[in-house]
Structure 1
Amino acid sequence: MSSTSQCRVCGGTVNEFFDFGRQPLSDAFLEPDVDLDGEFFFRLATGLCADCTMVQLMEEVPRDRMFHEAYPYHSSGSAYMRSHFEGLAKRLLTTELTGDDPFVVEVGCNDGVMLRTLAESGVRHLGVEPSGGVADVAAAKGIRVRKSFFEESTAREIRAADGPADVIYAANTLCHIPYIGSILTGVRALLAPTGVFVFEDPYLGDIVERASFDQIYDEHFFFFTARSVQQMAQRHDLELVDVERLPVHGGEVRYTLAIAGARTPTPAVADLLAEERARGLADRATLDGFGERVLRIRDDLTALLRRLRAEGKRVVGYGATAKSATVTNFCGIGPDLVSTVVDTTPAKQNRLTPGAHIPVVDAAAFADPYPDYALLFAWNHADEIQAKEQGFRAAGGRWIRYVPEVRID
């Protein structure tokens, strides 16, 4: 049964449009025979605010359950993403960080992949990171890190100690934070008069277009569009002044906010707003159509995996990603259909995937021996992975993809 909730941005009514059912914490990989009884589950459902058009989760998972000392994701794990963040840092050095003694703050700096380039260039910086393990990795690289969640009180303390920020940056972080009002009030308090808040997150337009439903999981609370970000910014004396489409993580947008009136919005803002209107991204009918495609993918994927099992084929998963939790639990995929998941992250290896309890093994096991099929959970890194795993294809292996539809490559 669909339900309503209160919008975490504007207080309006959020109307549910899709329910993924009972889901675990997406990054809570379990020790066999130890953690299974205490596993945390919640209802994963999405809704649309009737007033500000923000798409968001209907239920919030407590933040300390998701982001903690043992949080396993490292931004530096992908060579492509390292290049992405280094490129942004170099751009900021020639655009926003050219004044005397510029100061940059990154919200959710993870292992310091972006700040490292700025630190090596002598830029005054601070990373704010609540997940202690990855914060320690950043600190070991020479990054100045504060182990805490970013909110209004944090921002005011930083301003008092370090002065205003010329750039506040966040990558794949802002969409994680339900208490968004405190964040933006803090951003407004910390920004220099001509400073910018730059953040990049998964784009609802790409999720809808590609039916990439696995972008929806506990850590992703908001699903932004230019329109909903514009509405959100205006509530905090901020203004959306630029947008940039990004190919990373299955499609993102980099949004730039400034203090209202401080900068002239670029034409890209009006262009993306017009495109969203034409596509009906804020229309319930569009989101219902997305839901229908998701159900079709679920049915096609499970039918394929059951057929391969009946034929005696071995299927393994590739990439123990956070988003794979949505796929396995929503589709009912367990070790009977996918025997193991290979992953390069030591913290995930020799554990079980959340909810579905599929064993996670070292990526070296992928070729020992190669399976018949590999279900590509890390599809957003497909080019990088397939270039690395050419031996799998040469041995007759086939990739199973499910975005934007189920197919065998």
Structure 2
Amino acid sequence: MTACRICQGSVHQFFDFGSQPLSDGFLRPEETAGEFFYRLAVGVCRSCTMVQLMEEVPRERMFRADYPYHSSMSVKMREHFTRTAHRLLDTECPDGDPLVVEIGCNDGAMLSTVAARGVRHLGVDPSRDVAEVAAGKGVRVRVDFFEESLAREVAAAEGPAQVIYAANTMCHIPYLDSVFRGVDALLAPGGVFVFEDPYLGDVVERTSFDQIYDEHFYLFSATSVRAAARRYGFDLVEVERLPVHGGEVRYTLARAGARTPSGQVEALIREEAQRRIAGISTLEQFATQVKRNIEELAALLRRLREEGARVAAYGATAKSATVTNYGGFGPDLIPAVYDSTPAKQGLLTPGAHIPVRPLKEFSQPYPEYVVLFAWNHAQEIIEKERAFREQGGKWILYVPELHIL
């Protein structure tokens, strides 16, 4: 029986996606023979309700120097992080000489705004290439993993932080005990630890199963976050539902007793209990729907191949590795995936080995059907690619269920 990484309770496995590659492990054709695979299975702790992977992939394999994801590639995400930075500065750093620390700063999408305001800051990210992009925007970055030892070094050199922030990062870190101890060492007495990540409630409701992959070790809920925080002397004092990345929650933590939790915290926890989002029966129903969605997508792709239709995909996302490898979708069913990230273009997708093409080739000529792997940016992409639909193209989406636009 697997023990919970948070409370050591027993973990009930509710789905197994089988053998999977590194979700951001894009390859050259000559590199496919030595590709790394692991077992992607997910379970829920019967005690603290934390949803988590059953096996951990070594962090050095996932977050390499050439990690290809860039937060700033999406206009809507750039706007989101700009608003977030201004809000944190205005509400938490109005006076004095505050310090803002970001765990997993990526290419500086948030901290570049902090830097532009002249506020002391530090980004921590283990991936050299994106850190260099952030540095080019005027962001101070330390290339490393955030954990207790590093946090103590930063506290000794910089003093306490009024804000410690993370976006789509905390769910990546299995060793939350070290992170929380690091936050405890670095955070000012009245400071806040704010992080936003995919929300279990949205994943279950929308059957967005591809949010489960190697980098997403945890799927958080308000209930599980509060339970984890309290183990390390913190309390959950605010929650905010966010529309980004298919549904997230922003969690604000403070030292126990430092702030009164808002009514939104209890309201969301009550809602989670009523919906039983971490209940075994709920998660097993989710598993049944996942299988149905994949089976229907597979049947559609096979039919389109038999009819001779031109098919492709859009967005060489990390989460699409779960879809293609669990579904067995290779270049025979999806001959190409178009993506705007230069670091991915010309490579093959992890495991499935679908060629990644630059967006400039998307219209040369347009496919007839396109699987939208980047469905969490559907509105932005469909608006941007209006010409595709105007000439008769159809988008294929598989969240929350298979449908064609």
Give me the TM-score of the superposition, normalised by structure 1: 0.98
Q: Any idea what SS the aligned residue of 1:375 has?
A: strand
Q: Deviations over 1:326-359 (max 9, x none)?
A: 0000111111111100001111011100000000
Which of 36, 40, 44 pairs up with 2:36? Answer: 40
| 2:5 aligned with 1:8 | yes
Output the CA distance in 2 between the equivalents of 1:159 and 1:93: 20
Alignment of 1:80-229 (within 5 A): 80-229=76-225
Output the CA distance in 2 between the equivalents of 1:287 and 1:370: 39
Question: CA offset at residue 294 of structure 1?
Answer: 0.1
Alignment of 1:9-24 (within 5 A): 9-24=6-21
Aligned residues: 405
Amino acid at match of 2:119: V
Could you tell me which residue of structure 1 aligns to residue 23 of structure 2? 26
Output the CA distance in 2 between the equivalents of 1:368 and 1:233: 51
Amino acid at match of 1:8: R
Which of 392, 395, 399 pairs up with 2:395? Answer: 399
Output the CA distance in 1 between the equivalents of 2:56 and 2:262: 34
Could you tell me which residue of structure 2 aligns to residue 352 of structure 1? 348
CA RMSD across the alignment: 0.6
Identity rate, percent: 65
Could you tell me which residue of structure 2 aligns to residue 378 of structure 1? 374
Which of 62, 75, 82 pairs up with 2:58? Answer: 62
Output the CA distance in 2 between the equivalents of 1:92 and 1:107: 15
Q: Any idea what SS the aligned residue of 1:357 has?
A: coil
Output the CA distance in 2 between the equivalents of 1:69 and 1:212: 29
Q: Any idea what SS the aligned residue of 1:29 has?
A: coil
Output the CA distance in 1 between the equivalents of 2:278 and 2:324: 28
Output the CA distance in 2 between the equivalents of 1:93 and 1:8: 33
Q: Deviations over 1:125-150 (max 9, x none)?
A: 00001001000111111100011000
Contiguous gaps of at least 5 residues in structure 1: none
Could you tell me which residue of structure 1 aligns to residue 302 of structure 2? 306
Question: CA offset at residue 282 of structure 1?
Answer: 2.2
Amino acid at match of 1:26: S
Alignment of 1:69-80 (within 5 A): 69-80=65-76
Amino acid at match of 2:10: T
Q: Deviations over 1:63-111 (max 9, x none)?
A: 0000011100000000000000000011112100112001100000000
Q: Deviations over 1:204-229 (max 9, x none)?
A: 00000000000000000000000000
Could you tell me which residue of structure 1 aligns to residue 262 of structure 2? 266
Amino acid at match of 2:77: M
Q: Any idea what SS the aligned residue of 1:227 has?
A: helix
Q: Any idea what SS the aligned residue of 1:46 has?
A: strand
Q: Any idea what SS the aligned residue of 1:232 has?
A: helix
Q: Any idea what SS the aligned residue of 2:79 has?
A: helix
Output the CA distance in 2 between the equivalents of 1:318 and 1:282: 32
Output the CA distance in 1 between the equivalents of 2:276 and 2:12: 16
Give me the TM-score of the superposition, normalised by structure 2: 0.99
| 2:254 aligned with 1:254 | no
Contiguous gaps of at least 5 residues in structure 2: none
Output the CA distance in 2 between the equivalents of 1:343 and 1:77: 11
Q: Any idea what SS the aligned residue of 2:33 has?
A: helix
Runs of 4+ with >2 A deviation? none
Output the CA distance in 1 between the equivalents of 2:64 and 2:329: 27
Amino acid at match of 1:23: Q
Output the CA distance in 1 between the equivalents of 2:177 and 2:113: 30
Output the CA distance in 1 between the equivalents of 2:403 and 2:297: 9
Q: Any idea what SS the aligned residue of 1:95 has?
A: helix
Output the CA distance in 2 between the equivalents of 1:335 and 1:147: 36
